[in-house]
Structure 1
Amino acid sequence: MQLPPEDRILSPLTGWTRTHWEATADGLLAAVRRYASPRHALIDLPGPRPSWSGRRSDGLEGYARTFQLAALRVAGAGGEDAHGLLERYAEGLDAGTRTPTTERQLADGDGESWGVITDRGQAMVEASTVALSLRLTRPWLWDRLDDGVRERVGSWLAGALRHTPHDNNWWLFPLTVGGFLKDVGIEPDAAGAAVDRGLAAIDRWYLGEGWYTDGRPRAFDHYNGWAMHLLPVLHAQLAGDVALTRVYGERLRAYLDSYARTFGGDGAPVHQGRSLTYRFGAAASLWAGVIADSTPLAPGATRRIASGALRYFLDRGAVDQRGLLSLGWHGPYPPMVQSYSGAASPYWASCGFLGLLLPPDHPEWTATEQPAPAESADHVRGLPQPGWLIQSTVADGVVRLHNHGSDDQPADEVASDNPLYSALAHSTVTGPTEDLPDNHFGLELDGAISERGRIEPLGAGPGWAASAHHPRIGGRQLRGVDITSLTLVHGSDEVRLHVVTGAPPGTQVVHGGWALAGEEFETGTGDAAARAWVGNEDGLRSLARCVLGAGGAEVARSPAGTAFGPSAAAPVLRGRTGQGTSLFAGAFRLAGAGGNGELGEPRVEVEIAPRSSGGGWSITVLWPEGSEHRATLGTRSVEVTGTPGQ
């Protein structure tokens, strides 16, 4: 991939300008070309396939997702197509929508056909991407196709209008198809109905302040940005619907006001949720905010965050020696990959190139880069809708997300915890492990540590967030046991408190801190095993200290590592429950190079006393520089006052 020289005058923070985005898009598209079928309808990239998939499904995914990148590249250049991209994708449209039209013919194998769209079939996803790409390039592609090809493509796409999606963000795929078909006059009534159904579906999950769940009651993740906000706003813009743009633009603005704070100073998005292999697709909603004039960010700030995210992954090996995006985070990382992901899945990252739709003379491209929120000042922000608390420190650029509301649990079933959702905290520099209790509080019974299961948020505010859950082991809820959790933060420090009710006296308690990844670690314990710490070669430091209830601290290691490195280590506190209700408190810290990473330095004082009435405890956390948090904490009861943890 050939990139132009950096421009540290226009872009003092990343060095990247619009020409770098164009060159990156060109490089990614050139690399996939060799894997195209003879008539370009299938782009079958090398790599693992989902167990249910096959060459046609994966090849269609490769075609559709790279078509979106090509569409953004050409539309952003005003139709100029120096590399002949649209000619190849037009030929693919012709070949892909020919026979077969039945499942039997598909099984027999016939040419390069995409087959048919079915209920909850992968082709529905890719149909939406094809439709959006056609909508973006209509004057240069669709309007120049032969009538017969347009008829077949329209008929194939219309299959998405008549089939049922999964009950989550998938409702936006028929919506996106419907928006295009309505524009070009194909089945306009059915197309309009699909748009209405899609908007009605996601409105069921809108909680306010810009936050949607993704189908499941409390599934919060990056799909908020690269699906729930992106597709309705793009549809409204492309349809020229001012009223719709106003509604979804206002939601997007509210979302970006908090979401923009989740990118680290190094450009990394927070490592949380599913489909993380989409990587810099996380920038899509930021660009959408500019396109829809619905962003709270100053000109140059969106470009800084988006370019930072793109560089973060490219600089760390996201593109392999063949020029292909791998399934993983930095490079390949199979444990993180979802069962539905194939070799072409990472190219959903193409939506991160949405900024190319802004003309070269747009202020977002011409303004000097502005610092991202994580680079501007230390800040904390409670988000009651997802039950999150964002904490960032400007000295090291690390962003931490404390989770008291996202669990991805189905409404009527029991599912095992997914640590990418259920962990107590996530960050831009750490990821969950497979076999350590990192960022987890649980009860240990017969060698098994309890899971959180369904999380009930109890609130979030200045420097705090709280939740409750009924712990379970092996899918079985521990009868009569309840855990209420509260996180308080200041700077890079955290105090995590947990009230355990109903557990038998003497039950082992495990409270893990941040797991660092790397090849070599500095570790230790101190103060009669009341604290433990870990440091890695990147200058990251993780500390855990007993405050109340825990009787020992240790460092736990894992050879499995995380998405950030080949092995992992985390400080872990241990204790035991007493009679009745027990309170456990630990002080934790995650700090990067340049931050407050001094190992073992006491940073907080915690005063705890029984409440005079009503049960529970009164807690005062004294932070440096005189600020404090005061809380009253009991079983499923939390009240927090005091100075915000800034």
Structure 2
Amino acid sequence: MSAGPAGIPEDRALSPHTGYTRAHWEAAADSLLAAVEPYATEDRALYHLPGEHTSWSGRLSDGLEGYARTLMLAAFRRDEKALERYAEGLAAGTAGIWPRIEDRSQPLVEAASIALALRLTRPLLWDRLDDGVRQRAAAWLGDALTAEPWPCNWELFPVTVGGFLEDIGYEPTLSRAAIDRGLDRIEQWYVGDGWYTDGDGRAFDYYNGWAMHLYPVLHAWLADDERLLDLYGGRLSAHLADYARLFGGDGAPMHQGRSLTYRFATTAPLWLGALTGRTPLSPGGTRRLGSGALKYFLDRGAVDGHGLLTLGWHGPDSAVLQGYSGPASPYWASKGFLGLLLPPDHEVWTATEEPRPADRADESHPIGPPNWLLQSTSSDGLVRLHNHGSEDVRYDPYYTRLAYSTVTTPSTSYDNSVIVGDDPSRTGIEPLGVGEGWVASRHTTASGARVTSLVLAEGAVEVRAFRVSAAPEGTAVRVTGWATGESGAQAELRPIHGLLSASSDGLTGVTAATDTVFVALARLTAEPDPVPLEESVTLTVVDGTNEIHACWSGGREVRARLDDGAVTVGTERPGV
């Protein structure tokens, strides 16, 4: 019989997909808390975890980060002995050790974690503190009420601090103003159907779940404000209908976006939906996804030989880090233990695990606001995200590639890209629509060429089509596919129209005097013996009309037309 954290046997009757139960989550939390304790300073105000302090904020702020993010874990665990240690640290930290909370400073982030933990555990921690400590702590946190956040999910940190301070009666007018201001600001980024952008632009990723939904919903729930809970909880429920599909059959979250070193923090919105009753997911479905993600990372070296979370994805991996990443940054993974707020007899812990939707059948799921198409296959558990609407202000490979998956990582050689001339840039993405089995967009390269992109998908197979406009005749075009690395998956890329096979660098072609259409056939699969790619679909490209006809082996026919900045798609099903 397999075992999980602390050698606890897996329970394949209650949890047929992961074997994990609440006991495994408790053991994982206890192990993480025990592992960081030796790295606390003598007064317990700072946790100096090993590793290079290369973050923007410096060693002192990194030590505060270690305190705040592991305190959050102790709060979700309701570990009274651990909370006593953190109470000592709170007393010392607010006596002049912790850096002040200033405009756009890292301590503002950590203040939110501390305030949330104090609010969640008020009878166990805050109410047991001396008056002097409470006064100093409130004053230290109070700077967050007027500190200017970065214009993104940071707007919610003063909201979280303000919610706690308002509860304890500290500067109630200022606290309420901080709450209202932050909640008002995120409204400009809500784009409907449960999705936010993370600030201006079109940055869509896990920050939707572990920040943009987490903080407002928890605030409304803790404040017992039904109006706010209906508003933000309704958005969360809508979001989870899409979000639940971002996890692979092996538990892996989608490898896209920034701050991926937070790992199983991706499970926080799943538990939040169950905690507040705002979720479309069944209790067994919620636990299957949550436990799947935790198990995925614990089984793949996310925790080192000292029991510490490393800076990386599986093990250490600098590719997924940002400039703000310090040794304690991975401990935002503590958010993933939010489910421990649910009592042991809650049905999310007692129900039998249920399969993901894509475990039952292949699925092509369109997501409107970010203009994404999720392509899932039941045979291998892979999920592929076709990105035709998310980007960062920089050319960031974790935002701007054409596709991502739960088993591959963006490569330094521009996987999943269309490169015009020597220009790989893909910014200023204009969504052109998404529907059943298709998604499209347009972008303009730095050289001024316009690229209209279309993906048609069925099963594990993709038709990738591009119309290149405003490029000089004879301009080289390169189309690349999936970079599988050490994933064990198999990638294929075949030229269909306007392209020739190249080496491992992809497919190549050149532009004509007028707009030029390029079409390729691609597949990413973990099936050991897939049907030959060419037998999956019959493709016809009509010269002079920019039309593509696809007849899938299952009988579905798709007719698409690529214009410069516009795509039309029509689908016919057999017998309809």
Do they fold alike, i.e. is TM over 0.5? yes
Alignment of 1:44-193 (within 5 A): 44-74=48-78, 81=80, 84-99=81-96, 113-193=97-177
User: Given that residues 387 and 459 in structure 1 are in contact (C-alpha distance below 8 angstroms), is that contact kept between their aligned partners in structure 2?
Assistant: yes
- Seen in structure 2, the aligned counterparts of structure 1 residues 44 and 262 have a Cα distance that, compared at 3 Å, is same
Are positions 1:431 and 2:415 aligned together?
Answer: no
Q: Does 2:559 correspond to 1:630?
A: yes
Q: In the alignment, residue 423 of structure 1 is paired with which amino acid?
A: R
Q: TM-score, normalised by structure 2?
A: 0.97
Q: Is the 8 A contact 1:541 1:599 kept in 2?
A: no
1:581 and 2:565 correspond: no
Helix, strand or coil at the partner of 2:554: helix
Does structure 2 retain, via aligned residues, the 8 Å contact 1:546–1:553? Answer: no
Aligned partner (choices 303, 319, 322) of residue 287 of structure 2: 303
Corresponding letter in the other structure for 1:484? T
* Matched residue, 1:325: 309
- Aligned counterpart for 1:451 among listed residues 419, 425, 428: 425
Unpaired segments ≥5 residues, structure 2: none
Tell me, in whole angstroms, the C-alpha distance in 2 between the residues paired with 1:639 and 1:128.
46
Deviates more, 1:302-311 or 1:367-376: 367-376
Deviation for aligned residue 1:52? 3.1
Cα displacement (A) at 1:51: 4.8
- List per-residue Cα deviations over 1:484-514 (Å, max 9, x = no partner): 0011100000001100111111111110000
Q: C-alpha displacement at 1:608, in angstroms?
A: 1.9
Measured in 1, the distance between the counterparts of 2:372 and 2:383 equals: 12
Counterpart among 463, 477, 488 of residue 495 in structure 1 = 463
Q: Is residue 461 from structure 1 mapped to residue 435 from structure 2 by the alignment?
A: yes
Partner residue of 2:223? Answer: 239
Structure 2 SS opposite 1:555? coil
RMSD: 1.4
- Correspondence for 2:482 among 491, 514, 519: 514
Q: Report the 3-state secondary structure (helix = DSSP H, G, I; strand = E; otherwise coil) of the residue aligned with 1:517.
A: coil
1:591 paired residue among 508, 525, 528: 525
1:14 to 12, 18, 31: 18
Q: Secondary structure at the match of 2:383?
A: strand
CA distance in 2, matches of 1:216, 1:114: 32
* Counterparts of 1:643 and 1:347, CA distance in 2: 49
Distance 1:644 1:263, change over 3 A: farther
Query: In 2, distance between residues paired with 1:643 and 1:453?
Result: 33
Q: Distance in 2 between matches of 1:43 and 1:369?
A: 37
How far residue 609 of structure 1 moved from its aligned partner, in angstroms, is 1.8
The residue number in structure 2 matching 1:418 is 396
* Preserved CA contact (<8 Å) 1:10 1:369: yes
Alignment check: 8 A CA contact 1:328 1:337 kept: yes
How far does residue 598 in structure 1 lie from its aligned partner after superposition? Answer: 4.9
Partner of residue 44, structure 2: 40
Matches within 5 A, 1:282-431: 282-409=266-393, 415=394, 417-431=395-409
2:6 to 2, 18, 23: 2
User: 2 CA distance for matches of 1:598 and 1:439?
Assistant: 22
How far residue 607 of structure 1 moved from its aligned partner, in angstroms, is 1.6
Change beyond 3 A, Cα 1:200–1:574: same
Report the alpha carbon displacement of residue 155 of structure 1 after superposing the two structures with TM: 0.3
Structure in which a larger fraction of residues adopt helix: 2
Matched, 1:26 2:10: no
Q: Deviations over 1:401-426 (max 9, x none)?
A: 000000112xxxxx3x1110000000
Distance 1:370 1:574 in 2: 45
Q: How does 1:192-231 map to 2 (within 5 A)?
A: 192-231=176-215
C-alpha distance after superposition, 1:417-469 (max 9, x if no partner): 111000000000001011x131000112xxx3331121111111111111001
Question: Which amino acid in structure 2 is aligned with residue 553 of structure 1?
Answer: A
CA distance in structure 2 between the partners assigned to 1:587 and 1:601 by the alignment: 8
**Aligned equivalents of 2:540, 2:332: Cα separation in 1:** 49
Counterpart contact for 1:226–1:285, Cα < 8 Å: yes
Question: Is the CA contact 2:39–2:47 (under 8 Å) kept in the aligned structure 1?
Answer: yes
Report the TM-score when normalising by structure 1. Answer: 0.87
User: Is 1:3–1:23's contact at 8 Å kept on the other side of the alignment?
Assistant: no
Give yes or no for the alignment of 1:549 onto 2:523. Answer: no
Q: Tell me how far apart the structure 2 counterparts of residues 326 and 226 of structure 1 sit (CA, whole Å).
A: 19
The SS at the match of 1:542 is strand
Alpha carbons of structure 1 residues 643 and 239: separation in structure 2 relative to 1, 3 Å: farther
Conserved 8 A contact 1:463-1:644: no
Is contact 2:263–2:330 with CA below 8 Å preserved after alignment? yes
Letter of the 1:543 counterpart: E
Native 8 Å contact 2:414 2:424 kept in 1: no
**CA gap 1:4/1:51 in 2 versus in 1, 3 angstroms:** closer
Once the two structures are overlaid, the 10-residue window that deviates more, 547-556 or 234-243, is 547-556
Q: How far off is 1:643 after superposition?
A: 4.3
The offset of 1:170, in angstroms, is 0.1
Counterpart of 1:441 in structure 2 is: 418
Contact 1:590 1:597 in 2 (8 A): no
Q: 2:450 aligns with which of 449, 462, 482?
A: 482
Q: Determine helix, strand or coil for the equivalent of 1:454.
A: strand
Question: Using the alignment, how far apart are the partners of 1:451 and 1:330 within structure 2?
Answer: 28
- Structure 2 counterpart of 1:466, which letter? A
Answer whether contact 2:535 2:553 (CA < 8 A) is retained. Answer: no
State the distance in 2 between where 1:282 and 1:573 align: 35
- Give me the identity figure in percent: 55
CA separation in 2, counterparts of 1:341 and 1:90? 26
C-alpha spacing 1:170/1:242, structure 2 compared with 1 (3 Å): same
Aligned residue type for 1:46: P
Q: CA deviation at 1:133?
A: 0.2
Unaligned runs of 5+ in 1: 75-79, 100-112, 410-414, 473-477, 519-535, 557-571
Structure 1 residues 333 and 643: alpha-carbon distance in aligned structure 2, compared to 1, 3 A threshold: farther
The answer to whether the 8 Å contact 2:469/2:516 transfers is: yes
d(CA) in 2 for partners of 1:593, 1:114? 53
Q: CA deviation at 1:209?
A: 0.4
SS of match in other structure, 2:263: helix
Equivalent pair of 2:423/2:445 in contact (CA under 8 Å):
no
- Decide whether the 8 Å contact of 2:555 with 2:573 is kept in 1: no
